Amino acid sequence: MKPRSPEPKKRANLRDVAKAAGVSVATVSRVLNEPGVVKKDTLEKVQAAIDALKFVPSAAARAINSGRTRFVGALVPTLDNAIFARFLAALERELSEHQLSLVVATTNSDLEIEAEKAQSLVDIGAEGLIITGATHSEALHDLIDRTMLPTIITSFYDATNPLPTIGYDNEAVAQLALQHLADLGHRHIAVVHGPVHDNDRTRARLSGLHDLPWAGELTCYETQISHRGGAESAKHICGQAQKPDAILCLSDVVALGVLFGLQAEDVRVPDDISLVGVDDLPSSAVAVPAITTVHLPVSQMGEKAAVALARWISDQERPSAERLDGQLIERRSAIPNPSRLTS
């Protein structure tokens, strides 16, 4: 007869810890959730029992006892973009300082998907939400209104929005880039940007460009926000009878693709054409030539959003809108227009 396999060890629970420590279950719960109110000798006794039993508190049980899940949800269009990666890293780092965890959901810039995933986050107990941009579905707004869930908009600044916004003025960001090219003497500028139908940040940047008073001409090209999209746009621009003397890309991802596309067409940057981006991705600094761009303070945005949401959740302190300014980073991809210098 085969020897019997040993019974699998049972995971210790709250009652086991209480019995081993000689205290009540309520006392163990206080040690786990409010250690500051427990006497030192009791705290040490319970902690010793926890260590001996290798007890790991159940998040679900802790939530039932404390009424807190201690996590927030962030909804972003994609993870396939260094901008969102940097933002989420800073957001999670700062949230952890406030004993909050982060659950991330991607929306593919689809407002219906965003609302569905927001509902899922609420269903599993999210204590607050971080959402991207100012345009959202009625379903999402209704969810926020019904639950009264603390919710902060990022990547967009609008002091008049009903929800607090912590982000940059996208119109001003684009104008900063265009003004730099105008100051360099460029007057025929191609603007390469991502889709506008599902991205209010892109629409705001384009609006800012058209509102800036200057003596030049803009020609806009819409493409996918990808290296391929940028390269294809560069090829199309090079095939035009009248070529621009500068290209402004409203995303560094696109700008890098444009750079590759221009190089494939034997167009030299910046000697033949200047190039400017927006984002200040790490790749822009090491491209050849390094790309002039507008730095967006995405890490700072993540930190400030985390602090604001944590305070809102814990102290019911609703945050005010906060504008974060972009900064022009001059590199080697944009130079004065030679034709303007000699005219």
Residue-range domain boundaries for the chain: 14-66, 71-168+298-326, 170-296+328-342
- Average pLDDT on 70-96 reads 94
Task: Among 1.10.3230.20, 3.40.50.2300, 3.40.50.720, 3.40.50.12280, name the CATH number for the domain at 170-296+328-342.
Answer: 3.40.50.2300
The secondary element (H helix, E strand) that includes residue 215 is none
- Kindly indicate whether the domain formed by 14-66 is annotated with CATH number 1.10.1760.20: no
CA 2 – CA 4 distance, rounded (Å): 6
**Which residues are CB-contacts of 2 (< 8 A; sequence separation ≥ 6)?**
none
Mean pLDDT of 308-332: 96
CATH topology of domain 71-168+298-326: Rossmann fold (3.40.50)
Q: Using pLDDT thresholds of 50, 70 and 90, give the confidence band for residue 342.
A: very low
Strand order in the sheet with 71-76: 101-106, 71-76, 129-132, 151-154, 165-167, 322-323
In this prediction the pTM is 0.81
* Residue with more model confidence, 63 or 283: 283
Mean pLDDT of all residues belonging to the chain: 92
pLDDT at 338 over 80: no
Predicted pLDDT at 59: 56
Q: Do domains 71-168+298-326 and 170-296+328-342 have the same CATH topology?
A: yes
- The pLDDT, as a whole number, for residue 34 is 78
Q: Is the pLDDT of residue 22 over 80?
A: yes
